[in-house]
Amino acid sequence: MATDTLNPAGVTSTETNTTPFVGERRKVASHINQNEGLIFEKSSPGKKAYRLSPLDVPAVDAKALLGDLAREDVGMLPEVSEIEIIRHFTRLSTWNYAIDLGMYPLGSCTMKYNPRVNELVARLPGIAEAHPYQPESLSQGAMRVMWLLQNCLKEITGMDAITLQPAAGAHGEFTGILLVRAYHESKGNPRKKILIPDSAHGTNPATAAICGYQVQNLKSNSEGMVDLAELEKLVDEETAALMLTNPSTIGVFESEIHKIADVLHAKGALLYMDGANMNALVGKTRPGDFGVDVMHLNLHKTFSTPHGGGGPGSGPVSCKKILEPFLPTPVIVEKADGTLTFNYDRPQSVGRVRMFYGNYGMFVRALAYILANGPDGLRQTTEDAVLNANYIRKNLEDLYELPYKTATLHEVVFSDRRQARNGVKTGDIAKRLIDYGFHPYTVSFPMIVPGALMIEPTESESKEELDLFIDAMRQIAREADENPAIILSAPNATRVSRMDEVGAARKPVLRWKPDAAVAPASTENSALEPATAAKEY
Amino acid sequence: MAYPASYRYTREHEWIKVEGDQGTVGITDYAQNSLGDIVFVDAPKVGATVEAGKVFGSVESVKAVSDLYSPVSGTVTAVNEELNAAPEKINSAAHDSWIIKVKLSKPAEVDALLNAADYEKFTSEETGH
């Protein structure tokens, strides 16, 4: 057999003479993948990607105008031709993995497909070219988009009021807890602590701390849910709120959520819901109906706007009437004549949390998604997301340990307990999954599951893609039994093999320096030498 | 890994060795194993006060940042500077790599901590999921 790209080192078992099991890659094959250096390394003095027209206005002496403030040189900017720029970034893009290339099962992140209709609508000239400084009279259409989206999101969450300003999930949390604080302050006591379950996203305790609260940890029960008796012990008159993710990070719906709300409300505390997993509830149940006072949504998760590097994100916060006076300023209101206006006269507001009105382009996409699906379509996406996650659970639970047997919704969390006996941990399995052509799942989270494999397929995946994923995971489980070495060295089929994560953390190299041997020869314009440039940076 | 019988342990996986009113504090082998490769230890300064059950610092591994909880109340008398340059010492010898030394203000608190046998039982239950 020729050298297998999956097993380049020719890893064989030392205990037997038979060839150890190496899985068959059904989704990917090796293909040409060009090398690419940094664009700074391509720089050559004088190269240009453009040519300016001759100066046809009087020249201005910057030095005379600005004195010492005029900059002598522009620092290091790479000097390359247009086609070099195009090739550089196009090559880099081929190293990437994206939802448009395949399944992206990062648990908790909800990497669903970004429908093209969203992009079509967002590029309509009247929308794409609108400017936030246009007068309101000329912005009625743009404002109507926000108004409609607000109404849809209020309806979906069962809430009374909303702000679209926050720029992402953690920003939404921050805004939501500011509302909680302002509410308690208006009653004379901001209170001291916020309760957070041990299964929470790390952003929850960070949010509470940034808002000046002490964090009190709430242990999960054996089903991975909030322990109601424990909650009752901890809630007191100094408890500002409980921050709860529902369904939780192990994909389990808090079936006693209404009782949780009652326990909090009895002591004057509020219930904040982290809406990161709202894609498991849309069209099925509404947080406002089960006692939630304030929550954020992630438009870049639940409502299909781009996620990660393609963002930006958007984290609207919806709330009950009692919190409405504190919403960030401005809020949109409808006047008697049916036109829309921004209301800045909000004396109890926590203030502005984002320039203009938030990430408007995401509002357009989210609204397009909501209207294209309609109520029944949204309900269907929720059902499909839950079905897909449970299909994976059912097809892998004989090989991977399922720490919580509770019924799961949109994602499933396994542990690496069985594979760990052979030294194969969740991070190793994730890296091996890359060899099979899939983006890894979320590793080592949530913290309540040691060695977690957190898998969220979303509704976007077809049965065929899910079957390929399941097949890859099953082959990896067999490799873990019969040939752990090949997993421990993974990824083997990628252009860069396993990174030294520990070395990178312990001895980080934070600044690029040109390799002396390949640095271009010195030129008259020393300002453009890479060595000078590195200092600039 | 054997847990030294002369140490006492917390449910948050710190150990303490008490000699008179001096306590030496570190994290257990179980803790370093579940954290993975440790890359940074954030310890308080000498003279800082610590409180039993409260956070006194953190350890950062490739996976996560985890809080350190003090087993006892008291004043920090020494900090193991060696860990600044070589945090990996905790991975190779957790029970010999102390993080802080504390002058105990309430020595009776030690009685409430787990002994080696109970701690080992506790960790086996925790992995039981």
For the segment A50-63, what is each residue's pLDDT rounded down to a tens digit? 888 999 999 999 89
Residues A414-426, mean pLDDT to the nearest whole number: 95
Q: Is the pLDDT of residue A529 over 50?
A: no
Q: Which of A448, A449, A506 sits opposite B39 (nearest CB)?
A: A506
What is the percentage of chain B residues whose pLDDT exceeds 70? 96
Per-residue pLDDT reduced to its tens digit, A229-254: 999 999 999 999 999 999 999 999 99
Q: Which residue has the higher pLDDT, B76 or A311?
A: B76
Residues A215-221, mean pLDDT to the nearest whole number: 91
Listed residue (A164, A234, A241, A243) closest to A203, CA to CA: A243
Q: Is the pLDDT of residue A138 over 70?
A: yes
Q: What are phi and psi of A457, to 5 degrees?
A: -80, -25
Tell me how close the Cα of A429 comes to any Cα of chain B, in angstroms: 15
Q: Is the pLDDT of residue B129 over 60?
A: no
Q: Do B87 and A506 touch (CB under 8 A)?
A: yes
Listed residue (A468, A487, A467) closest to A476, CA to CA: A487
Q: Do A501 and B34 touch (CB under 8 A)?
A: no
Q: Which residue has the tokens 């209709």?
A: A117
pLDDT bucket at A476, cuts 50 / 70 / 90: very high
Residue A256 is predicted with a pLDDT of 94
pLDDT bucket at A526, cuts 50 / 70 / 90: very low
A447 neighbourhood in chain B, CB within 8 Å: 64
* This prediction's pTM: 0.85
Instruction: Establish if A415 touches chain B: CB-CB under 8 angstroms.
Output: yes
Q: Is the pLDDT of residue A208 over 70?
A: yes
Residues A330-349, mean pLDDT to the nearest whole number: 97
What is the percentage of chain A residues whose pLDDT exceeds 90? 76
pLDDT bucket at B126, cuts 50 / 70 / 90: low
Tell me how close the Cα of A509 comes to any Cα of chain B, in angstroms: 14
Q: Which of B62, B88, B126 sits opposite A501 (nearest CB)?
A: B62
ipTM of predicted complex: 0.73
Q: Where in chain A is the domain with CATH 3.40.640.10?
A: 119-371
Mutate to test the interface with A, among B33, B51, B63 (most CBs of A within 10 A): B63
Residue A2 is predicted with a pLDDT of 42
Residue B2 is predicted with a pLDDT of 85
Instruction: Establish if B45 touches chain A: CB-CB under 8 angstroms.
Output: no
Instruction: Establish if B34 touches chain A: CB-CB under 8 angstroms.
Output: yes
Q: Which of A449, A450, A502 sits opposite B37 (nearest CB)?
A: A502
Which of these CATH numbers, 3.90.1150.10, 3.90.700.10, 2.60.120.10, 3.40.50.1820, describes A379-504? 3.90.1150.10
A415 neighbourhood in chain B, CB within 8 Å: 129
Tell me how close the Cα of A236 comes to any Cα of chain B, in angstroms: 20
Supply the CATH classification number for the domain B8-117: 2.40.50.100
Residue A309 is predicted with a pLDDT of 66
Q: How many helices (H) and strands (E) does chain A have?
A: 17, 12
pLDDT bucket at A515, cuts 50 / 70 / 90: low
Q: Do B37 and A505 touch (CB under 8 A)?
A: yes
Q: Where in chain A is the domain with CATH 3.90.1150.10?
A: 379-504
Residue A16 is predicted with a pLDDT of 53
Residue A496 is predicted with a pLDDT of 87
Which helix (H) or strand (E) segment holds residue A273: the answer is strand A270-275
Q: How many angstroms separate the CA atoms of A45 and A533, rounded?
A: 13
What is the percentage of chain A residues whose pLDDT exceeds 70? 92
Hey, what are A368's tokens? Answer: 């397009």
Residues A499-510, mean pLDDT to the nearest whole number: 87
Residues A409-438, mean pLDDT to the nearest whole number: 96
Q: How many angstroms separate the CA atoms of A363 and A370, rounded?
A: 10
Strands (E), B8-129: 8-9, 14-19, 22-27, 38-42, 49-50, 55-61, 65-69, 74-79, 100-104
Residue A287 is predicted with a pLDDT of 98
First to last CA, chain A: 49
Instruction: Establish if B62 touches chain A: CB-CB under 8 angstroms.
Output: yes
Per-residue pLDDT reduced to its tens digit, A265-303: 999 999 999 999 999 999 999 999 999 999 999 999 999
Instruction: Establish if A521 touches chain B: CB-CB under 8 angstroms.
Output: no
Cα separations (Å) of A521 from A25, A43, A44, A74, A525?
46, 11, 10, 20, 11
Residue A206 is predicted with a pLDDT of 94
A245 DSSP β-pair partners: A274
Residues A357-385, mean pLDDT to the nearest whole number: 97
Q: Is the pLDDT of residue A518 over 70?
A: no
Per-residue pLDDT reduced to its tens digit, A146-157: 999 999 999 999
Supply the CATH classification number for the domain A119-371: 3.40.640.10
Q: Is the pLDDT of residue B1 over 70?
A: no
Q: How many angstroms separate the CA atoms of A121 and A125, rounded?
A: 9
Q: Where are the domains of chain B?
A: 8-117
Of the CA atoms within 13 Å of residue B98, those in its CB half-sphere come to 16
pLDDT bucket at B27, cuts 50 / 70 / 90: very high
Q: Do B129 and A403 touch (CB under 8 A)?
A: yes
Neighbours of A261 (CB within 10 A): 21
Residue A417 is predicted with a pLDDT of 95
Tell me how close the Cα of B88 comes to any Cα of chain A, in angstroms: 9
A404 neighbourhood in chain B, CB within 8 Å: 129
CA-nearest residue of chain A to B86? A506
Q: Do B63 and A444 touch (CB under 8 A)?
A: yes
Mutate to test the interface with B, among A447, A502, A507 (most CBs of B within 10 A): A502
